[in-house]
């Protein structure tokens, strides 16, 4: 604990940025707590990490959000709630911090959302397709089911179905499927992505970001999935 206050706080200077960049160029990312010792920078490892991720990283896109980005964020937020890192993972070049700030300052107003409310609440859990009798089997999403209320565009998008099929196979278990975002919901409430959690996980936690981001069916899938859920719930 002693020495915690040896670290500087507040905005970074150009000199500090340069020191951090030089260090990362040589040593790469990670092991952030070594940076202050190695460079003499008066910043804690956490602060260095944040500075890199949110500002210095060459993958970070600067400037305002486009209409397309707004649209994607709104749709993803409908499905995921305040899981900013997941949302940001599907908005190329944007960090979770950027997405979160943009949502809180711009999109909430745009959508007329009153803050301090869970973003989306479902009154009661809809039909659960998952079969709990066999935890090893991924839940099935009725993409090819002609009785499904899902948009036909989804069920006929074969390349997208291929992606989803691949994702289904790669589905891996994840705690209780709720994560930290569950803090936003009361116990009796359900969030939509819990319903068919195996498939959601397989998509949202996949590393095949580009396959999904570049797949024109992905966002439509989210929309249709959300509509399908709400049609059951409301």
Partner DNA sequence: AAATACCTCAACCGCAGGCCG
Partner DNA sequence: CCGGCCTGCGGTTGAGGTATT
Tell the smallest beta-carbon distance from residue 143 to DNA (Å). 26
Residue 76 or residue 154: which is nearer to DNA going by CB? 76
Residue 46 or residue 162: which is nearer to DNA going by CB? 46
DSSP secondary structure of 188-229: T-B-GGGTTHHHHHHHHT-S-HHHHHT-THHHHHHHHHHHHH
Residue 198 or residue 228: which is nearer to DNA going by CB? 198
Tell the smallest beta-carbon distance from residue 119 to DNA (Å). 9
Tell the smallest beta-carbon distance from residue 83 to DNA (Å). 4
CA–CA gap between residue 141 and residue 153 (Å, rounded): 15
Tell the smallest beta-carbon distance from residue 158 to DNA (Å). 31
Q: What are phi and psi of 94, to 5 degrees?
A: -110, 145
Tell the smallest beta-carbon distance from residue 110 to DNA (Å). 10
Tell the smallest beta-carbon distance from residue 72 to DNA (Å). 16
What b/e string do you get for 48-86 counting C-beta neighbours within 10 Å, with b at 16 or more? Answer: bbbbbeeeeeeeeeeeebeeebbebbebbbbbbbbbbeb
Tell the smallest beta-carbon distance from residue 213 to DNA (Å). 16
DSSP reduced 3-state for 159: helix
CA–CA gap between residue 189 and residue 195 (Å, rounded): 12
Closest by alpha carbon to 195, among 126, 141, 118? 126
E strands in 104-192? none
CA–CA gap between residue 60 and residue 41 (Å, rounded): 23
Residue 84 or residue 160: which is nearer to DNA going by CB? 84
DSSP reduced 3-state for 122: strand
Residue 100 or residue 170: which is nearer to DNA going by CB? 100
Residue 213 or residue 227: which is nearer to DNA going by CB? 213
Q: At what angle do helices 197-204 and 158-170 cross, to 10 degrees?
A: 100
Q: Applying CB under 7 A, which residues contact DNA?
A: 8-12, 30-34, 43, 45-47, 49-51, 54-55, 64, 82-86, 96-98, 100-102, 104-106, 109, 175, 179-181, 183-184
Residue 50 or residue 211: which is nearer to DNA going by CB? 50
């Amino acid at each position: 604990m002693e020495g915690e206050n040896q670290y500087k706080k507040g905005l970074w200077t150009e000199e500090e940025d340069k020191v951090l960049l030089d260090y990362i160029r040589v040593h790469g990312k990670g092991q952030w707590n070594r940076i202050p010792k190695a460079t003499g920078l008066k910043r804690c490892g956490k602060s260095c990490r944040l500075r890199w991720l949110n500002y210095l990283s060459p993958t970070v896109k600067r400037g305002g959000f486009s209409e397309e980005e707004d649209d994607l964020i709104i749709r993803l937020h409908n499905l995921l709630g305040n899981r900013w890192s997941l949302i940001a993972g599907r908005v190329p070049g944007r960090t979770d911090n950027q997405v979160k700030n943009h949502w809180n300052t711009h999109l909430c107003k745009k959508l007329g959302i009153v803050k301090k409310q869970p973003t989306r609440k479902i009154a009661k859990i809809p039909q659960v397709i998952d079969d709990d009798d066999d935890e090893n089997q991924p839940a099935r999403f009725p993409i090819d089911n002609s009785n499904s209320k899902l948009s036909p565009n989804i069920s006929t998008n074969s390349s997208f179905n291929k992606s989803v099929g691949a994702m289904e196979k790669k589905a891996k278990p994840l705690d209780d499927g709720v994560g930290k975002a569950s803090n936003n919901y009361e116990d009796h409430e359900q969030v939509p992505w819990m319903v068919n959690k195996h498939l959601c996980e397989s998509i949202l936690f996949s590393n095949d970001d580009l396959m999904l981001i570049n797949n024109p069916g992905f966002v439509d899938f989210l929309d249709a999935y959300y509509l399908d859920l709400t049609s059951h719930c409301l």
